[in-house]
Structure 1
Amino acid sequence: MDFSDSSTFSTASGKDYHYVVLQVTLKEKFLGTGSGNLTELEEAINHQAQKGYRLHTITTSNGGSKGLMGGDRIQATMVFEKVI
């Protein structure tokens, strides 16, 4: 997983700040319910934990649909705090 991909992850994830803000786009499955890429969210959280950050806050917002067969998009914005 490339955490510097600005369309999926904030570029701030590569810097050593006290707080880091990341945004992950969750894509709704075409058939059924739930997100088709929860592993990306899990990987982002675990990647920050390995760097010494803990998840402080997470919010979500509906990003709309990407077309007839694309499914909905949900933006998950996460704030991580450096563990001192």
Structure 2
Amino acid sequence: MSDTAAGWYDDGSGTMRWWDGTAWTERTQPPPPPQPGLGGFIAQAQADAVAGAQPRPAQAGMSYVVLQVVLKEKFFGSGSGNLTELERAINAQASLGYRLHTITTASSGSTGFGGGDRIQATLVFEKLV
């Protein structure tokens, strides 16, 4: 189950695909042109983070799916929710018949916009045969 609202998201192939709130649909459209300036950069980073966390099957003929999940440490307080976010991504792929093969993380080392360090988790899932 995903907490991501229904809407158009990049499905990982560069194509915008309709996410109905629980699964990808067959509805697609070309991606919108990039927005200029800092606002466009931030919007694209947010869209990439949301799309990366969505479950998706491997492309035809492939046995692996690679997802990137952008995590953020809370600036104030505790309870970032990062483990829950990773758990959701892993369980969503498991429901599609994949198991986690590899996970790596990288930290930006800066507080970024709005504080809190950003961590990128790259997850590789393998199709169960």
1:7 and 2:48 matched: yes
Q: TM-score, normalised by structure 2?
A: 0.53
Q: Which residue of 1 aligns with 2:102?
A: 57
Deviations 1:30-71 (CA, angstroms, capped at 9, x unpaired): 12456343322111100000000000000000133223x420
Give the number of the structure whose residues are more often strand, by fraction. 1
Return closer, same or farther for 1:59/1:11 CA change in 2, 3 Å cut-off: closer
Q: List 4+ stretches of structure 1 deviating above 3 A.
A: 9-13, 32-37
Q: Is the 8 A contact 1:25 1:74 kept in 2?
A: yes
User: Taking CA–CA contacts closer than 8 Å with sequence separation of 6 or more, which of the two structures ends up with the larger relative contact order?
Assistant: 1
In structure 2, how many angstroms separate the alpha carbons of the residues matched to 1:22 and 1:61?
14
Unaligned stretches of 5+ residues in structure 1: none
> What letter corresponds to residue 14 of structure 1 in structure 2?
R
Equivalent residue in structure 1 for 2:119, among 58, 71, 74: 74
3-state SS of the aligned residue for 2:118? strand
Q: TM-score, normalised by structure 1?
A: 0.77
- RMSD (Å) for aligned C-alpha atoms: 2.6
> What letter corresponds to residue 111 of structure 2 in structure 1?
S
Unaligned stretches of 5+ residues in structure 2: 11-46
> What letter corresponds to residue 43 of structure 1 in structure 2?
R
**Larger Rg: 1 or 2?**
2
Return closer, same or farther for 1:45/1:19 CA change in 2, 3 Å cut-off: same
In structure 2, how many angstroms separate the alpha carbons of the residues matched to 1:74 and 1:11?
14
How many residues are treated as equivalent by the alignment?
A: 82
